[in-house]
């Protein structure tokens, strides 16, 4: 004998014995041994090995590591200090990514579910990953479906598929229906057999595409990659030029190799190569993002990738899923509405009974919260709600406070009797507004036995209409207002009915308007772009359509953030520039999101924006200094190599100057408060100052070093000391210009830098270690004069960089500024500012 589905067709492969006894132990073992179990990969991100490889084995780490090892082999450990910067940069990236991976793995474990199954004719509880095909699963209200199931009996069930489809309305399921993994049983009970497990399930296949690893689209990263690409092409020819120049300075290749003077030549070549690589910029970028991640972690925001802190600072479109983001997903009572009839005594007692019914649905539970009672009336009889009839009823005795039969359900099913036309019209108008609507009607006598088939009998009196809405998060409206004030467009993209989406949108400040029905979205990509650009509310959106809408916005040049909590949001989160998952999200959703709100508080996002702006503003500030260094180091290396001059510095001297004029001050500047709305053009703005400032600095060093080596007759140590002092003074002024506007904290940082520079040439231990000393009087005077001229040139370069481009001037745009925040706002809250972008 076979089992028939609700359409009368047989369910193949099942018989009465299976439905009664389930699988035997031998059958379970056979399937498990064949690998057919409901187990899926639990890794939520890259493995530890992949994290280490990505942060350690890259081009510049290879160059730095090779130079570091070479100097150690040659016994020049004092000149190998630059290796510490590369090690620190790699460690920060590894620790941050591993920390995020560990947190996500723990979150995935916490959401593991158990199931009640029938095996060997007895019930037992097993974990979700122990299910095998054809297992007989017992379902009850509140159970989560962890594999794809085929419903055998016990229906109808009320199933919440919002995590998969985004539709928050319960879906009725009859015998023979498929229950998809990731859905939740809201009401009813029954038995089902497992049809698909593990990677074959619907939820896993939907999320499979999202498991591919990709990096956040970071403008800072792209800009630095362009700089590093140019440096990569310059490294080899510059290294050859420098090595040849140093060898020639040591008496030629033959003389240097024969006398052992090739070691100083190699050290000089390494110094030039290492000076060209802005290792500190990578480190400071990682530090700024890591500190931002730690600050946000204190606010229950998990950052999975460091650059995600930056992205939200420049987002201009925020796409929101409705359920779980703007709403909590729970139903709350909204209001009572008059039907135009005189009230019937006892209606409140009836509502109290419906609200305390132990088999009540989520909607009836909302009634119980609104009409609470300690002891409801005792009923004579009742009819349970079913999706087929769409109503339930209760009958009280004549002696009770609410005599007669009370029927509550969908207006179409309850108000079909004669005389209910006016109430039915009012219910239709309420439903059209997007609110869930139920009707309560009264029948003086008992309900006829055939009411479920024949419909409501004559004499039915409409008593009241009840409307319900989804519970809106308390912080939703204020958070959306913040984004609107910041010029960020907000779009709601939901799988719910468009009327429901529009109703909720009105509750969070969108105003009147209809939601676009995604079932009519155009297939042409260009028309789709115009549609998503001109509309803010979308309903009935499928998972693939969510992704298409995000891609259309990105093609329009927008930086898109997407929030969500369901598997139906995974594809869109993956394609968005920044995916944000809520605390209630499925493990697959959290795995692909770059940011997870661990406590589900939507109001955390403004703080994330502020932190991103702080980080990106400070990174842009310190980038001016580091890129200036790259420019002057490249110019010095190339000119030295072409003119066959000795390289002006030892690696340790450059390391000392990097620490004093760039590294340590930049570290503190990278942690400064303040920031404002980000504007595109990070690299252009940075290079507009860094290139002229770097060239000016290089010319000053070359003039002093060239004079000392060629015409002054000074010793190599004196020439190196003069070049070191020149570079220290001019590079310090580069930092002064980049740090503006100045405040007390920045003033102390700059004062400490100059004090350190003085101590470097004064303290005997430092003089001995770094091989520096005050130059002779004549050379010292030249050094001071040239350095002063260089500082003036850097000041002029800074003023030139603040001038707007001609195209911007023609458009009436304001001037660009080197300041990362206006003076009156420095140290304030980024979310309260709306000034021009920084350079």
Active site residues: 321
Strand partners, 443: 405
d(CA 796, CA 276): 24
Q: How many CB atoms sit inside 10 A of residue 294's CB?
A: 12
Residues 423 and 426: their CA atoms lie apart, in Å, by 5
CA atoms within 13 A on the CB side of 21: 10
The C-alpha atoms of residue 465 and residue 136 are separated, in whole angstroms, by: 42
Say which DSSP state 23 is in. Answer: B
CB proximity list for 639: less than 8 A, separation 6 or greater: 645, 698, 702
Q: 422 with 339: CB under 8 angstroms?
A: yes
| Adjacent-strand bridge partners of 66 | none
Tell me the two tokens of residue 684: 């252009």
Longest dimension (CA), the chain: 120
CB of 620 closer than 8 Å to CB of 682: yes
CB 586 within 8 A of CB 605: no
Angle between helices 59-73 and 219-249 (to 10 degrees): 30
Both tokens of residue 191?
Answer: 């038995």
β 537-539/516-517 pair status: parallel
Q: In angstroms, rounded to a whole number, what is the distance separating the alpha carbons of residues 373 and 354?
A: 11
- Whose tokens are 């003085």? That residue is 758
- Give the Cα separation of 156 and 174 in Å (integer): 5
Exposed e or buried b per residue across 24-39, where buried means at least 16 C-beta atoms within 10 angstroms of its C-beta: eeebbeebeeeebbbb
Q: How far is CA 276 from CA 285, 490, 700, 793, in A?
A: 17, 43, 17, 22
Is the C-alpha dihedral spanning 355, 356, 360, 361 positive or negative?
A: positive
CA atoms within 13 A on the CB side of 532: 31
> Which CB contacts under 8 angstroms, 24+ apart, belong to 114-121?
115/143, 115/146, 116/140, 116/143, 117/22, 118/21, 118/22, 118/191, 119/22, 119/23, 119/24, 119/25, 119/28, 120/21, 120/22, 120/23, 120/24, 120/25, 121/20, 121/21, 121/22
d(C-alpha 628, C-alpha 647), whole Å: 19
- Please say whether the beta carbons of 576 and 560 come within 8 A: yes
Query: Measured between alpha carbons, how far is 453 from 455 in angstroms, rounded to an integer?
Result: 6
d(CA 116, CA 137) in angstroms, rounded, equals 6
Which element (helix H / strand E) includes 249? helix 219-249
């Amino acid at each position: 004998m076979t089992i028939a589905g609700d359409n009368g067709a047989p369910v193949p492969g099942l018989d009465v014995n299976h439905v009664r006894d389930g699988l035997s132990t031998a059958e379970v073992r056979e399937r498990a041994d064949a690998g057919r179990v409901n187990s899926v990969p639990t890794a939520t991100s890259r493995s530890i090995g992949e994290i280490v490889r990505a942060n350690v084995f890259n081009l510049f780490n290879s160059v730095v590591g090779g130079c570091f090892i070479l100097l150690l082999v040659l016994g020049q450990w004092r000149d190998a200090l630059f290796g510490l910067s590369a090690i620190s940069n790699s460690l920060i990236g590894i620790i941050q990514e591993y920390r995020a991976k560990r947190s996500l793995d723990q979150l995935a474990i916490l959401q593991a579910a158990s199931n009640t199954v029938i095996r060997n004719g007895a019930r037992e509880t097993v974990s979700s990953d122990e299910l095998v095909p054809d297992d007989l699963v017992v379902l009850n209200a509140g159970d989560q479906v962890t594999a794809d199931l085929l419903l055998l009996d016990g229906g109808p069930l009320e199933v919440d598929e919002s995590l998969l489809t985004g539709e928050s309305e319960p879906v009725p399921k009859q015998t023979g229906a498929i229950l998809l993994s990731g859905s939740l049983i809201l009401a009813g009970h029954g038995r089902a057999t497992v049809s698909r497990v593990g990677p074959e399930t619907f939820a896993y296949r939907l999320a499979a595409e999202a498991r591919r690893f990709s990096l956040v689209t970071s403008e800072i990263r792209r800009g630095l990659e362009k700089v590093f690409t140019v440096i990569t092409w310059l490294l080899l020819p510059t290294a050859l030029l420098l090595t040849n120049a140093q060898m020639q300075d040591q008496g030629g290749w033959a003389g240097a190799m024969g006398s052992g003077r090739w070691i100083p030549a190699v050290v000089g070549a390494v110094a030039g190569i290492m000076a060209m690589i802005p290792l500190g910029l990578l480190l400071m970028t990682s530090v700024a993002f890591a500190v931002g991640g730690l600050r946000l972690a204190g606010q229950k925001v998990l950052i999975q990738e460091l650059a995600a802190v930056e992205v939200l600072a420049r987002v201009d479109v925020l796409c929101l899923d409705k359920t779980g983001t703007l709403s909590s997903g729970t139903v709350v009572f909204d209001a009572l509405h008059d039907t135009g009839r005189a009230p019937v005594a006892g209606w409140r007692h009836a509502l109290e009974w419906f609200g305390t019914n132990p088999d009540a649905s989520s909607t009836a539970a909302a009634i119980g919260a609104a009409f609470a009672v300690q002891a409801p009336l005792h009923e004579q009889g009742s009819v349970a709600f079913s999706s087929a009839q769409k109503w339930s009823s209760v009958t009280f005795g004549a002696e009770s406070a609410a005599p007669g039969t009370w029927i509550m359900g969908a207006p179409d099913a309850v108000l079909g009797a004669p005389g209910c036309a006016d109430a039915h019209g009012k219910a239709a108008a309420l439903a059209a507004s997007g609110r869930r609507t139920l009707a309560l009607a009264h029948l003086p006598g008992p309900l006829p036995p055939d009411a479920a088939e024949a419909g409501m009998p004559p004499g039915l009196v409409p008593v009241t209409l009840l409307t319900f809405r989804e519970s809106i998060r308390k912080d939703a409206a204020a958070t959306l207002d913040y984004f609107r004030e910041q010029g960020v467009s907000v779009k709601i993209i939901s799988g719910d009915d468009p009327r429901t989406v529009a109703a909720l949108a009105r509750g969070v400040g969108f105003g009147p308007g209809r939601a676009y029905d995604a079932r009519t979205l155009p297939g042409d990509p260009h028309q789709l772009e115009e549609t998503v650009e001109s509309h803010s509310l979308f309903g009935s959106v499928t998972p693939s359509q969510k992704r298409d809408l995000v891609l259309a916005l990105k093609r329009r040049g927008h930086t898109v953030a997407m929030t969500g909590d369901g598997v139906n949001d995974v594809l869109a989160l993956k394609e968005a520039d920044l995916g944000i998952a809520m605390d209630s999200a499925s493990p697959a959703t959290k795995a692909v999101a770059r940011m997870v709100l661990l406590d589900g508080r939507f109001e955390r996002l403004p703080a994330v924006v502020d932190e991103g702006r702080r980080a990106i503003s400070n990174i842009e500030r310190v980038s001016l200094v580091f890129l200036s260094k790259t420019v002057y180091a490249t110019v010095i290396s190339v000119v030295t190599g072409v003119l066959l001059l000795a390289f002006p510095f030892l690696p340790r001297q450059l390391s000392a100057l990097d620490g004093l004029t760039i590294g340590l001050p930049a570290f503190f500047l990278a942690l400064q408060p303040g920031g404002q709305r980000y504007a595109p053009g990070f690299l252009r703005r940075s290079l507009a100052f860094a290139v002229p400032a770097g060239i000016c600095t290089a010319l000053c060093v070359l003039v002093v070093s060239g004079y000392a080596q060629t015409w002054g007759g000074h010793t190599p140590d004196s020439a190196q000391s003069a070049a070191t002092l020149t570079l220290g003074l001019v590079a310090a002024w580069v930092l002064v210009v980049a740090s503006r506007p100045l405040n007390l904290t920045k003033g102390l940082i700059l004062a400490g830098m100059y004090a350190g520079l003085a101590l470097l040439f004064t303290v005997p231990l430092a003089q001995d270690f770094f091989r520096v000393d005050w130059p002779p009087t004549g050379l010292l005077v030249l050094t001071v004069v040239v350095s002063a001229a260089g500082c003036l040139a850097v000041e002029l370069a800074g003023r030139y960089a603040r001038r707007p481009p001609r195209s911007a001037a023609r458009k009436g745009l304001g001037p660009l500024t080197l300041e990362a925040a206006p003076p009156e706002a420095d140290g304030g809250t980024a979310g309260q500012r709306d000034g021009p972008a920084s350079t």
